[in-house]
Amino acid sequence: MMDRFTVLDLLSLEPKPPNTLNLRCICGRRGLSREIYSTDTNRPGMALTGFFEKFVGERIQIVGRGEFAYIECMGEKVLAPQLAKLFKYDIPCFIFSYNLEPQEYFKKAAEEAGIPILVTPLASSLLSIRLIRTLDYVFAPTRTIHAVFVEVEGTGVLIQGESGIGKSETALELLDRGHSLIADDAVLLKCLNGNTLWGYCASKVMVHHMEIRGLGIIDAVKLYGLNSIRDRQTVEMVFQLEAWNKNKKYDRLGTSDAAINLLGVDIPLITLPVKPGRNIPIIIEAAVLNHRLKSQGVNMAKDFNKSLNRWMENKNAKNQWFQDTAVKWG
Supply the CATH number for residue 225's domain: 3.40.50.300
Determine which helix (DSSP H) or strand (DSSP E) holds 288, and give its type and residue range.
helix 280-295
pLDDT of residue 328: 59
Domain count, the chain: 2
Listed residues 139, 158, 179: the one ending a domain: 139
What stretches of 33-173 adopt beta strand conformation (E)?
41-42, 60-63, 94-96, 117-119, 142-146, 148-152, 155-161
Comparing CA positions, the residue from 187, 39, 25 lying closest to residue 116 is: 25
Listed residues 107, 139, 171: the one ending a domain: 139
The reply to whether 173 and 33 lie within a common domain is: no
The reply to whether 47 and 108 lie within a common domain is: yes
In a domain, 308, yes or no: no
pLDDT of residue 254: 66
Listed residues 122, 139, 156: the one ending a domain: 139
The reply to whether 117 and 224 lie within a common domain is: no
In a domain, 316, yes or no: no
The reply to whether 231 and 278 lie within a common domain is: yes
pLDDT of residue 250: 76
The reply to whether 99 and 239 lie within a common domain is: no
The reply to whether 105 and 213 lie within a common domain is: no
In a domain, 38, yes or no: yes
In a domain, 129, yes or no: yes
The reply to whether 101 and 197 lie within a common domain is: no
pLDDT of residue 321: 55
Domain that holds residue 21: 7-139
Catalytic residues: 146, 167, 185, 252
Q: Flag residues of the chain having pLDDT under 70.
A: 1-3, 253-255, 299-305, 308, 315, 317-322, 324-330
In a domain, 43, yes or no: yes
The reply to whether 196 and 288 lie within a common domain is: yes
Burial 79-95 (b: 16+ CB within 10 A, else e): beebbeebbebebbbbb
In a domain, 310, yes or no: no
The reply to whether 234 and 90 lie within a common domain is: no
Angle at 128 between CA 125 and CA 134, to 5 degrees: 145
The reply to whether 103 and 151 lie within a common domain is: no
In a domain, 311, yes or no: no
In a domain, 260, yes or no: yes
pLDDT of residue 317: 64
pLDDT of residue 314: 77
Comparing CA positions, the residue from 190, 196, 224, 197 lying closest to residue 210 is: 224
pLDDT of residue 326: 62
Give the CA count within 13 Å in the CB-facing half-sphere of 302: 8
pLDDT of residue 320: 67
CATH of residue 64's domain is 3.40.1390.20
The reply to whether 63 and 181 lie within a common domain is: no
The reply to whether 120 and 224 lie within a common domain is: no
